[in-house]
């Protein structure tokens, strides 16, 4: 839920759509201080333990928002209603659509926004209270402002009364195609309007038994500002939603806001639409922890995770994992894995200083490699003056040394700018060397965001999302390049142009290579020294196992052809190979003798994966 420059003005609307870096880092420092007492396992033991649990193939995650993925409507009116702009449904993710995802060699699908969240669409006819426009971002609402943890988003159902059955059918369809299901788990906060209509009768709703006269109690689910009503923030700018807003929201006493704002009047650039959940940390009194007895929120969240696991969900992408105590993750993940030992927990994390701690003590399987590999690759893709391949080297040699196989690599997701957007690279092909590095640097998961494989530019002012180089998560919208591949529900790509088809084929071939590669999944890594005319925008490394040797070469330079004779070290040469030297991305034999060196000539902005 974090973006790099989302506090800028977009057509008069101040966008703080995700989380504030400064506040997050401050919170993480406190967490590290609080839980330093938790014993850290030595990295060799940790690596050995984790290696035994590694998958037989590289995990490839395909992220999509059902609301956008299946939407065939091309009207795209800014701030448009669901009737005007349409919405994709669970049922739109057909067998044919899943086949298309499988063609990219994905083995997990992350269904973003499946759980019921705050929105301005009226479902009162189905017993769901209409949300207040003063505390909803956009007309469709943020998937990260959960309104009911035991329900799915009614926007995504053809028959709203049977919305859970439609979700369950999607899970079954997905599994039938040999794909696994990931959904979001948003543990730090819920929507201001949170109320579970669908919860089992035995479940006590969040806040139902709170003592609202106390700003903190270890028994409370929320934090309060006693004696003060919540004050709706405003930026004073009129939008098409202004007629639905009266500047008031009935919340007295006020609850603390999701990004640790313990005041009745959060700012407009806070996460004012959310309320902070209480995991037993008294933030206003030295951040003292109260974990014994187990806080009620811990128990409720365990039950929620168990509920979705029993629905057939195979993994959870845990939103802003670092804003929740490590002690909770240490407690809850093993408990939920008793229901399904094969579950994966993927943490959205942004502080490299605590990566190891969240993997070891927090029991996460994988963490985001955003502050590190993604940021370094983005500079290279954009050809920024300070771009340097040393950032790639630093990631695997220092930042995630010893646990690089537990880092998720990506170039797009719902928080980040589209590669083909004017604000990022302007052209999707400029990122292909970076995608090759992302997919081959470690054995950890690699992720695609729907539309990335056909060069979706994220263009347009959708509404609350604004023209911010991203595909909106707040609005009802059609995604044009993706719709070309969707082709009215045929999912055959017939409306793609030649460049888009070529781009999709590149992703398809790359992931075919990496998911089946023994060297990528189990191999060691060797850093190729700078040689020939290699500069700080050219990088090469070797992945090698007992069964395979790969030379990966990436040329990010916009102008220079990489020419080098790359020497192969003795320890790599000991791995015998009877295969001819082949560029696996093109299946082209290179007619190079497999000797002690390999002559490489690589055009600007291109890459090779050479088996030798």
Q: Closest Cα to residue 319, out of 192, 182, 220? A: 182
Q: Same domain for 541 and 485?
A: no
What is the phi-psi region of residue 532: left when phi exceeds 0, alpha when psi lies from -120 to 50, beta otherwise? left
396 burial (CB, 10 Å; 0-12 / 13-18 / 19+) is buried
pLDDT at 32: 36
Residues 6+ apart with CB under 8 A from 444: 58, 59, 366, 369, 404, 405, 406, 407, 408, 409
pLDDT for 25-55, tens place per residue? 334 333 333 333 333 333 332 332 333 344 6
Determine the structural domain holding residue 489 and report its residue range.
Answer: 55-112+152-185+407-516
Q: Alpha-carbon distance 496 to 507, whole Å? A: 15
Rg of the chain over all Cα atoms, to the nearest angstrom: 24
pLDDT at 1: 53
Residue 336 lies in a domain: no
Dihedral angle computed from the Cα positions of residues 484, 489, 491 and 497, in that order, rounded to the nearest 10 degrees: -20
Q: Which residues pair with 539 in a beta bridge?
A: 554
Residue 93 lies in a domain: yes
Residue 303 lies in a domain: no
Q: Alpha-carbon distance 66 to 311, whole Å? A: 18
Last residue of some domain: 485, 516, 547?
516
The helix-helix angle for 498-515 and 432-440 (nearest 10°) equals 20
The span from the first CA to the last CA of the chain, in angstroms, equals 41
Q: Pairing state of beta strands 281-282 and 549-555?
A: unpaired
Q: Same domain for 510 and 528?
A: no
CATH number at residue 411: 3.20.20.80
Residue 344 lies in a domain: no
Phi, psi of 277 (to 5 degrees): -90, 150
Q: Where are the beta strands (DSSP E) in 478-570?
A: 524-527, 538-544, 549-555, 562-567
Cα–Cα distances in angstroms (integers) from residue 22 to residues 4, 27, 351, in the given order: 11, 9, 11
pLDDT at 352: 96
Q: Same domain for 478 and 589?
A: no
Q: Same domain for 511 and 531?
A: no
Half-sphere exposure (CA, 13 Å, Cβ side) for 211? 7
Q: Alpha-carbon distance 346 to 320, whole Å? A: 10
Angle at 439 between CA 435 and CA 445, to 5 degrees: 125
Residue 235: other Cβ atoms inside 10 A = 13
Which regions in the chain score pLDDT beneath 70? 1-55, 594
The structure tokens listed for 179 are 């794909």
Cα–Cα distances in angstroms (integers) from residue 17 to residues 87, 136, 266, in the given order: 21, 11, 14
Residue 488 lies in a domain: yes
pLDDT at 91: 98
On whether the CB atoms of residues 519 and 440 are closer than 8 A, the answer is no
Into how many domains does the chain fold?
Answer: 2
On whether the CB atoms of residues 604 and 561 are closer than 8 A, the answer is yes
Residue 399: other Cβ atoms inside 10 A = 19
Q: Same domain for 504 and 413?
A: yes
What is the phi-psi region of residue 155: left when phi exceeds 0, alpha when psi lies from -120 to 50, beta otherwise? alpha
Half-sphere exposure (CA, 13 Å, Cβ side) for 507? 30
Residue 76 lies in a domain: yes
Q: Alpha-carbon distance 387 to 375, whole Å? A: 10
Q: Same domain for 66 and 180?
A: yes
Cα–Cα distances in angstroms (integers) from residue 412 to residues 3, 8, 465, in the given order: 12, 20, 16
Q: Same domain for 437 and 494?
A: yes
Cα–Cα distances in angstroms (integers) from residue 119 to residues 78, 141, 243, 437, in the given order: 16, 4, 16, 39
Q: Same domain for 496 and 544?
A: no
Residue 137 lies in a domain: no
pLDDT at 593: 76
Q: Same domain for 509 and 587?
A: no
CATH number at residue 604: 2.60.40.1180
Q: Same domain for 102 and 161?
A: yes
Q: Same domain for 411 and 530?
A: no
Residue 192: other Cβ atoms inside 10 A = 27
Would you call 432 helix, strand, or coil by DSSP? helix
Residue 373 lies in a domain: no
Q: Same domain for 492 and 550?
A: no
Last residue of some domain: 481, 516, 551?
516
Q: Which residues pair with 19 in a beta bridge?
A: 2
Last residue of some domain: 495, 516, 537?
516
């Amino acid at each position: 839920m974090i973006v790099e420059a989302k506090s800028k003005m977009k057509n008069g609307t101040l966008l703080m759509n995700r989380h504030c870096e400064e506040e997050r880092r401050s919170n993480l420092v406190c967490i590290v201080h609080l839980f330093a007492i938790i014993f850290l396992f030595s990295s060799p033991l940790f690596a050995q333990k984790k290696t035994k649990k590694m998958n037989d193939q590289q995990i490839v995650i395909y992220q999509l928002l059902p609301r956008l993925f299946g939407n065939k409507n091309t009207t795209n009116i800014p701030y448009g209603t669901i009737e005007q702009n349409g919405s994709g449904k669970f049922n739109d993710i057909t067998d044919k659509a899943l086949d298309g995802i499988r063609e990219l060699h994905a083995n997990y699908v992350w269904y973003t926004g499946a759980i019921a969240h705050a929105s301005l669409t009226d479902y009162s006819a189905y017993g769901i209270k209409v949300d207040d426009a003063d505390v909803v971002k956009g007309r469709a609402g943020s998937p990260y402002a959960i309104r009911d943890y035991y329900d799915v988003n009614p926007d995504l159902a053809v028959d709203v009364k049977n919305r859970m059955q439609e979700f369950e059918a999607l899970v079954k369809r997905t599994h039938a195609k040999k794909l696994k299901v990931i959904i979001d788990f948003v543990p730090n906060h819920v929507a201001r309007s949170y109320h579970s209509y669908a919860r089992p009768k035995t479940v006590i709703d969040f806040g139902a038994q709170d003592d609202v006269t106390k700003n903190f109690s270890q028994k409370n689910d929320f934090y309060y500002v006693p004696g003060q009503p919540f004050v709706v923030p405003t930026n004073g700018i009129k939008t098409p939603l202004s007629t639905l807003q009266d500047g008031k929201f009935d919340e007295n006493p006020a609850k603390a806001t999701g990004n640790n704002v313990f005041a009745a009047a959060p700012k407009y650039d806070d996460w004012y639409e959310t309320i902070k959940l209480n995991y037993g940390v008294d933030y206003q009194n030295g951040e003292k922890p109260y974990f014994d007895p187990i806080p009620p929120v811990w128990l409720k969240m365990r039950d929620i995770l168990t509920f979705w696991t029993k629905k057939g969900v195979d993994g959870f992408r845990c939103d802003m994992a670092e804003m929740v105590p490590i002690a909770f993750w240490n407690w809850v993940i093993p408990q939920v894995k008793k229901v399904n030992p094969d579950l994966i927990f993927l943490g959205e994390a942004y502080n490299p200083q605590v990566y190891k701690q969240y993997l070891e003590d927090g029991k996460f399987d994988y963490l985001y490699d955003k502050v590190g590999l993604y940021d370094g690759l983005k500079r290279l893709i954009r050809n920024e003056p300070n771009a340097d391949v040393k950032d790639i080297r630093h990631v695997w040699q220092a930042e995630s040394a010893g646990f690089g196989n537990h880092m998720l690599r990506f170039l797009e997701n719902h928080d980040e700018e589209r590669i083909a957007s004017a604000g990022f690279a302007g052209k999707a092909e400029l990122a292909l060397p970076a995608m090759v590095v992302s997919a081959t640097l470690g054995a950890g998961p690699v992720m695609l965001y729907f539309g990335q494989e056909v060069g979706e530019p994220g263009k347009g002012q959708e509404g609350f999302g604004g023209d911010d180089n991203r595909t909106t998560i707040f609005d009802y919208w059609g995604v044009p390049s993706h719709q070309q591949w969707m082709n009215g529900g045929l999912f055959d790509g017939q409306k793609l142009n030649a460049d888009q088809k070529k781009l999709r084929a590149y992703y398809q071939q790359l992931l075919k290579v990496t998911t089946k590669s023994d060297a990528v999944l189990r191999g060691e890594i060797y850093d190729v020294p700078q040689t020939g005319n290699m500069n700080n925008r050219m990088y090469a490394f070797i992945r090698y196992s007992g069964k395979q040797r790969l030379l990966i070469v990436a040329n990010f330079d916009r102008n220079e052809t990489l020419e080098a004779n790359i020497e192969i070290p003795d320890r790599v040469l000991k791995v015998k190979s009877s295969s001819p030297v082949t560029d696996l991305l093109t299946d082209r034999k290179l007619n190079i003798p497999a000797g002690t060196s390999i002559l490489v000539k690589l055009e600007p902005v291109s890459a090779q994966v050479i088996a030798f």
